[in-house]
Structure 1
Amino acid sequence: MKTAIIYIDIDDDLSKAGVSTPVIGEAKAREAIEKSSRFLALDSDFNTMVTAFNIYLDMKANGEDVEIVFVAGSQRGGLDSQMALSKQVDEVIRAIKPDQAILVYDSPEDAKAIPVIESRLKIVGIERVIVEQHRGVEETYILLGKYLKRLVTESRYSRLFLGVPGIILFVSSILAIAGLTAYVLPSILLVLGGAMLVRGFGIDDAIERWWENSTIMVIVAILSSISLVLAIINGYLVASTAGPLSIRSASSTLLAILPYLTFSIIILYSGKLLSRALSKDIRIWHDLLKILASILAYFVLTGLLRNLESGAYIIQIQSFYLLLLSSFILIATYFVLSNFEKNRLRSQ
């Protein structure tokens, strides 16, 4: 049975040494170790790499059918690392067709790759390398400096450890200059809470993946969110000056909100329509009908609210007929296009 000795570098430190992964075979592994010795000699990754290579040499000397492999993830971390590593594992399997694997890694972060590999290969051994260090005062400072450097240079850490404090200092300075020092502490708590919420639920990773998959939808989502915020602000301003709660004041408030709300909905559907148009998706008409329905609803509701605002509580016959006719046309169009879509998909 062929065994793959797999060294795991899920945060892709090998790329810093100029090593392209996956590394397959003894010759390429030696070359990778030589390159890494210049850049990662003090890193535990280098020791782990050498350990994996030594395991390979020992098993080869015993006459076993083995191959050495180095795989890496991504410096972005999270799901990106696991997905990148997954692709490399698939590439390794296609190249050498191993029956089983022995995994060699050093950090708990690397251990996240184990289920990924286990779903593809039988794992017969796992070796975790723990590098012993003499932690004197000087070594502690060196180690601390190394990790501080990583906090500054690696984006996945710098966003949290530099970005959030930077926002706090910036906002606090602005508030202090404006003489609003009473709001400094609430602002700090707001920023910290927001950062914890975003990082805790992986919202930043989700947005990043969303951006990579559909830049158009991210842009329209931002515009839609801005429009919703404006709707809330405008509605609040109108409501605060409209007097006591009544049908007229409620109608005025809704009339102030409705244009922004409609724009928010329409721009979302428009973004989806544009995405489908670029990908030549036949279902583009779904979004077109939704846009038309939103516009129709806007005009009907606007007319109704204006009547209520002016004290006319009876729906005009013309408005009713317009709503009925437009709804009938939209529904009929939906059924016609739906049948056309089904027939076309069947013909394909």
Structure 2
Amino acid sequence: MVKMIRKMAKTVIIYIDIDDDLSLAGIKSPVIGETNVKEAIDKASEIMADDSDFNSMIVAYNIYKKMKKEGQDVEIVFLAGSQKGGLEAQRRISAQLDEIIKELNPQDSIIVYDSPEDAKALPIIQSRLKISGVQRVIVEQHRGVEETYILLGKYFKKILNEPRYSRIFLGVPGAILFAAGILEVLGLISYIVPVITILIGSAMIIRGFDLDEMMEKWWENSTIMVIAALLSSISFAISLINGYFTYISIKGNSVYVVSTVISSMLPYITFSVLILLGAKALSSALDKSIKLFHDIIKISAIIISYYIITDVLKNLEEGIYIIQFQSFYALTISSMVLIFAYIVLNLIEKYKFSSS
């Protein structure tokens, strides 16, 4: 029985489409080989002929044809990421690149791309494969009034259809309009400027630190932790609001004010921490992990600390500035018990790991 072995190419021409516009033309990536690439270009010509991505595909194919005509050992592939962008797009590029290397076993590569976003894939490729050339495609256009409208229409379509654009250009203005309407109904329209500032600032922080992708990954990996994180955030926000209104409503010396404000915030902050630890413990229980006991110890430590701190704050509010022996005794005993339990559980975990 004779097996057909694909010829290994010395150089591979890689066209990068990190935002996966190929999928809009019904093209599934990776696209490997001249025949498949020609089919992909034919499909793209019907849907995205005026797009810079299509021009980049043509440039990559022309480079491949030129090198092949010169007798060089080359192959051509198209790699696509994700319309969500960010880490998900880069990870898909990475996975497809591994597939290409496994199938073609190339020695080096020439990269073709058209946007700065696509350039994010260059370090990923360079970490696995030598890059001997890079070609960025810049399409020059004479933009009259009619062409400008066509271009704006294309970008508006991207905003409507691609999630990574719609979140910013539709989501944020939508949230601002919604908040303005609510404030108008409540007669609080004078607060619209700080509300807009908070919304825009929050959107910039979320997008800048990729918090939306982080939350999405958390949701995929552990729905329990996402729900707990939301409840924890709400509880912490309530603690800040409660502390502020307590501060502006009381009078007295500085020690009394500080202790009273902390006392008003402490239950919500404690709940905020406990719900996160509780969710983690529940996840450990579902995974049947011994680390469940570690989480239980942390929860116990938080609860004990809450009661001891509450007792101390109560004494401060009453003008008692000396820590009573009863509080110190409870703190010492509880600490010793928790430390001993933690040591025992660590020994059990090590014994279980070594025996398995």
TM-score normalised per structure 1 = 0.89
Higher alpha-carbon deviation: 105-114 or 140-149: 105-114
Q: Distance in 2 between matches of 1:197 and 1:317?
A: 46
Unaligned runs of 5+ in 1: none
Give, in whole Å, the separation in 2 of the partners of 1:97 and 1:323. 64
Q: Identify if the C-alpha distance between structure 1 residues 318 and 40 changes in structure 2 by more than 3 Å, giving closer, same or farther.
A: same
Deviates more, 1:15-24 or 1:274-283: 274-283
Separation in 1 of the partners of 2:115 and 2:319?
71
Q: Which residue of 2 aligns with 1:10?
A: 18
Alignment partner of 1:81 out of 86, 89, 108: 89
Q: Which amino acid aligns with 1:24?
A: I
Distance in structure 2 (CA, Å) of the matches to 1:125 and 1:250: 64
Deviates more, 1:187-196 or 1:4-13: 187-196
- What is residue 191 of structure 2 aligned with on the other side? 183
| Letter matched to residue 245 of structure 1 | N
Map residues 298-337 of structure 1 onto 2, 5 A cutoff: 298-309=306-317, 320-337=328-345
Taking only aligned residues, the RMSD between alpha carbons, in angstroms, comes to: 2.5
Q: Distance in 2 between matches of 1:16 and 1:88?
A: 18
The answer to whether residue 275 in structure 2 is matched with residue 277 in structure 1 is no
Q: CA deviation at 1:157?
A: 1.2
Question: How far 1:114 sits from its partner (Å)?
Answer: 1.5
Q: Which amino acid aligns with 2:46?
A: R
Distance in 1 (alpha carbons) for counterparts of 2:171 and 2:270: 35
Distance 1:92 1:232, change over 3 A: same
Cα 1:315/1:9, change in 2 over 3 Å = closer
Q: Following superposition of structure 1 onto structure 2, how do residues 279-294 of structure 1 map, counting pairs within 5 Å?
A: 279-294=287-302
Show the 5 A alignment for 1:103-182. Answer: 103-182=111-190
- Which stretch of the first structure deviates more once superposed, 59-68 or 90-99? 59-68
Q: Which of 32, 36, 44 matches 1:28? A: 36
Q: Distance between the aligned counterparts of 2:179 and 2:348, measured in 1?
A: 56
Q: What is the Cα deviation at residue 186 of structure 1?
A: 2.9
Q: CA deviation at 1:126?
A: 1.9
Q: Structure 2 counterpart of 1:336, which letter?
A: V
Partner of 1:81, secondary structure, is helix
Following TM superposition, by how much is the alpha carbon of 1:6 offset from its aligned partner in structure 2, in angstroms?
0.9
Compared CA separation, residues 182 and 311, structure 1 to 2 (3 A): closer
Please report how far the alpha carbon of residue 346 of structure 1 lies from its aligned counterpart in structure 2 after TM superposition.
Answer: 2.8
Task: Summarize deviations over 1:91-121 as a string: whole Å, max 9, x none.
Answer: 1001111111111222222222122111111
Cα offset, 1:242, TM superposition = 4.1
Bigger mean CA offset, 331-340 vs 177-186? 177-186
CA gap of 1:245–1:212, structure 2 versus 1, over 3 A, is: farther
Residues in 2 aligned to 1:45 and 1:318: alpha-carbon distance in whole angstroms: 73
Cα displacement (A) at 1:228: 1.6
Q: Greater shift after overlay, 225-234 or 302-311?
A: 302-311
Change in Cα spacing, 1:149 to 1:237, as seen in structure 2 (3 Å) is: same
Alpha-carbon shift at residue 321 of structure 1 (Å) = 4.2
Q: Name the residue aligned to 2:214.
A: 206
Superposed CA deviations along residues 271-295 of structure 1, whole A, max 9, x for unmatched, are 2222333334332221110001111
1:341 to 344, 349, 354: 349
Long gaps (5+) in structure 2: 1-8
Q: Secondary structure at the match of 1:69?
A: strand
Q: 1: CA distance between counterparts of 2:102 and 2:142?
A: 42
TM score, norm. by length of structure 2 = 0.88
Change (3 A) 1:240 1:104: closer
Residue 164 of structure 2: SS of its match in structure 1?
A: helix
Change (3 A) 1:176 1:148: same
Distance 1:58 1:314, change over 3 A: closer
Choose from 228, 247, 262 the match for 1:220.
Answer: 228
Offset, 1:253: 3.8
Aligned amino acid, residue 296 of structure 1? I
1:139-191 deviations in Å (ceiling 9; x for gaps): 22111111121122211111111222222222223323333332223332332
Measured at CA, do residues 233 and 344 of structure 1 come closer, stay the same or move farther in structure 2, by a change above 3 Å? same
State which drifts further: 252-261 or 48-57: 252-261
Distance of 1:158 and 1:62 partners within structure 2: 45
Q: Which one-letter code corresponds to 1:340 in the other structure?
A: I
Deviation of 1:123 (Å): 1.4
Q: Matches of 2:198 and 2:259 in 1, distance apart?
A: 34
Question: What amino acid is aligned across from residue 16 of structure 1 in structure 2?
Answer: L
| Paired residue type of 1:103 | I
**Aligned letter for 2:226?**
V
Measure how far apart 1:251 and its partner are: 4.5
Q: 1:332 to 1:58 in 2, by over 3 A?
A: same
